[in-house]
Amino acid sequence: MSSPGDREPGSRQFALAIALLVVVIAAGTAGYVAIEGWSAWDAFYMTVISVTTVGYREVHDLSRAGQVFTAGLLITGVGAVFYTITLLAAGIIDSRVHPRVQEKRRTRMIDRLTDHFILCGAGRIGLIIADEFRRQHVPFVVIDRDPDAVHAVVERGDLAVEADASREGILERLRIDTARGLIAALGSDAENVYTIMTARGLRPDLFIIARADSDDGKQNMMRAGADRVISPYQIGAVQMAQTALRPAVVDFVELATSSEHLELTMEQVDIGAGSELSARTIVESNLRQRFGVIVVGIRRGDGQMEFNPPPDAVMQAGDQLVVLGRPEQLKGLESAAS
């Protein structure tokens, strides 16, 4: 679906063509009145039959000056008429064909999705998540039952589908088999629970994050198979309390975790099997000297988290390093860890 910015150039061209046609007719009418001394109606009628090339005879006999004027009017007027008709026909064809072309294009893009996130819900939370994914160039597709919400997402240039996120066929269509994860951010806890159950049935190993509005909803989502359940209200309240008590700490965390601050990033790095970092300590690997990063923590393969690990902490395949550094430094570390 084209955005308003895509449609504006064509609209301006069509308006310009109409204005040009009006100017030609007005100039032709005024010219016959001035040159031949005809009435305004006769001059207007002569101008119309000339620019439309209908082939009628002249309204009155023309002088030599009138013939020269008519020749010029035919050249400019016929061009203006055909230009206007061409734009009008192109607009009609585009209004009928373009949506179908865009729909086929979106279908092809969805069919090629891999290592992406399925974002269920295009409300305020969903749009914020979509903005963050877009800034970090993470592939994703949005699904929502509200046609206006889906239209708004498409207008932003993102992939979106109007459908029920809890239907197996829809999730299969959105390539859940190749997805990196699913985020259930629908409007109610019940909708999120049904979506989680469907997704977990299709992909037992899929990473699923859910939004909960209540404690009961959080428990139900965990039972349904969500890996993480987040309450925006709880997080917002804790954030406000922490900001009141430790504003400098909150500013630092926001700086380290926000994609808007590209000079410093906190990232997780997976230690792969056969990596040069596997079975080595932090000090032996010279992570600070080689890559300029700070190891904030290590998430072990069994899920245990070690904060501020000592220099002699051994990294193993399957561990995840939580590190702080510049984007270019993190790329080097990711390459060594893979």
* 110 Cβ contact list (under 8 Å, min separation 6): 141, 159, 161, 173, 174, 175
Q: Is the pTM of this model over 0.75?
A: no
DSSP designation for 302: T
Q: Residue 13: its pLDDT value, please?
A: 67
All structural domains of the chain, each given as residue ranges with its CATH number in brackets, are 4-110 (1.10.287.70), 114-236 (3.40.50.720), 262-337 (3.30.70.1450)
Q: Residue 167: its pLDDT value, please?
A: 94
Q: Residue 163: its pLDDT value, please?
A: 93
DSSP designation for 56: P
Chain centre distance of CA 22: 41
How buried is residue 115: exposed, middle or buried, by Cβ count under 10 Å (0-12/13-18/19+)? Answer: exposed
Q: Residue 2: its pLDDT value, please?
A: 40
pLDDT along the chain (338 residues), means of 10: 44 73 86 88 86 74 84 81 76 62 78 93 92 90 93 89 93 94 94 95 95 91 94 87 86 69 75 87 87 87 87 89 83 84
Q: Residue 190: its pLDDT value, please?
A: 93
* 281 Cβ contact list (under 8 Å, min separation 6): 311, 312, 313, 314, 315
Q: Residue 201: its pLDDT value, please?
A: 94
Q: Residue 6: its pLDDT value, please?
A: 44
